[in-house]
Amino acid sequence: MADVSTHTASLRFLGYSDQGGRPHGIQIMVRNEHAYIGQGRFGGFSIVDVSNPRQPKPAGFVPTAPGTLNIHLQVHDDLLLVVDGANLFRVYGSWEAYYAQSMQGWSSAQLGQRGVDFMAGMRVYDVSKPAEPRQIGYLDIDGLGLHRIWYDGGRYAYASALLEGFTDHILLIIDMADPTHPREAGRWWVPGMWRAGGEVPSWSSGRVALHHALVADGIAYGSWRDGGLTIVDVHDPAHPQLLAHRNWRPPFGGGTHSALPLPDRGLLIEADEAVLEGCADGTKYVWVFDVREKSNPVSIATFPVPSEQDYCRAGGKFGPHNLHENRSGSFQSSEIIFVTYQNAGLRVFSIANPFRPEEIAAFVPTPPPDLTPSQPIASADVFVDQRGLVYLTDAACGLHILEFAH
């Protein structure tokens, strides 16, 4: 493991886990000394005991239905929410095809005809016994399933959902008043996505689909891949109201993926995902927006791009993926931002001056020598706890636990 930290902070390696022989981790949540990790290739989610961060131990694996992905999940208190969605990677066969256009050519019936069996909806688990999730509820949807959820307690969860009649994933608001019977409370989409309603897209290329939205103070900040950023008032979940829509594709390459609102500073961090290997989709950036006026978000800076080596030629994808989300009960900061950067590992930035973001630390893992087949590093998601322990997942190379010092 290589520590390439600079300036005023450091990331120190503590421990590693291959997640019980299932190293393909995507989203991670940590609660009660256990990590819950959505799997990229195994159709389920893993549980890792991280009570000793130097010796994390696999503590379980919860499988799902064939043809279903559980790559994203959320934990708050003793509730774990897990997505069920059709494994569309199997259908499209390549990253280029998956990211190139909307899913409007597919329906649940068509996937069934091709022999793709899957579940579509959201599982609700009780994790009061951390290593023994107990399913207590399910939200069944009519369509191809969910991609990602935002839930940090309270009445509502917010999901990206591919529903029948829509060209791709839209915003679905879920009422969690009774976790054993979650139900739809509202929905919102970019005009042009409701195919069944006769809407016609205004865009001629790219994939316009909600990756997910983070919600702060009743405002949903949505990332729509090649459709850019939306700011939507969701105080009334049955009647969401668009406040602003910004898209910077073209001239930039699209892939808008992860938003992080910083309400106390009137700022928004937005990361564009690199989706193709070898920088084939161009350089992707992490943007800083001034959102003091919600109807007029203004881009004021981009984060510096890692440049200590030529990552475009290093194998795999180079560019942003996810951000630490400042969840309640985790490390929270409006100045220190953690970004997974795929083959460039984990990057930590200071936005003390939001007009001049600075990289303050970095960690680039080394692929485990016994990994078969050998895979390039693909740092996927990051969770930072209140002690400054950093849990870094990889789409191919397992879980790394680090210690952040500043």
Walking along the chain (406 residues) 10 residues at a time, the average pLDDT comes out as 60 96 95 96 93 98 91 97 89 81 72 73 98 98 95 98 94 98 98 94 93 98 98 98 97 97 98 96 97 98 97 96 97 98 98 98 89 84 98 95 96
Tokens 């594709």, residue? 249
Q: What angle do CA 126, 127, 132 make, to 5 degrees?
A: 105
Q: What is the pLDDT of residue 1?
A: 43
Taking alpha carbons only, the member of 347, 297, 301, 302 closest to residue 322 is: 347
φ, ψ for residue 286 (rounded to 5)? -105, 125
Sign of torsion, CA 187 191 195 196? positive
Taking alpha carbons only, the member of 206, 217, 361 closest to residue 273 is: 206
Q: What is the pLDDT of residue 370?
A: 79
Q: Read off the tokens for 386.
A: 């209140």
Q: Which CATH number fits domain 2-405: 3.30.420.240, 2.130.10.10, 3.90.1720.10, 3.90.550.10?
A: 2.130.10.10
Q: What is the pLDDT of residue 258?
A: 98
- CB 201 within 8 Å of CB 208: yes
Q: What is the pLDDT of residue 113?
A: 58
Q: What is the pLDDT of residue 5?
A: 41
Q: Is 112 helix (H, G, I), strand (E, B) or coil?
A: helix
Number of other residues whose CB lies within 10 A of the CB of residue 222? 29
Strands of 379-384's sheet, edge to edge?
A: 10-17, 399-405, 389-394, 379-384
Q: Read off the tokens for 305.
A: 């791009």
Number of other residues whose CB lies within 10 A of the CB of residue 277? 17
The torsion region of residue 371 among left (phi > 0), alpha (psi -120 to 50) and beta comes to beta
Q: Is 403 helix (H, G, I), strand (E, B) or coil?
A: strand
In this prediction the pTM is: 0.95
- CA dist., res. 51 & res. 73, Å (int): 20
Q: What is the pLDDT of residue 227?
A: 97
Q: Read off the tokens for 128.
A: 């009061």
- CA dist., res. 82 & res. 141, Å (int): 14
Domain boundaries, the chain: 2-405
Taking alpha carbons only, the member of 91, 92, 75, 74 closest to residue 83 is: 74
Q: What is the pLDDT of residue 117?
A: 76
- CA dist., res. 31 & res. 78, Å (int): 9
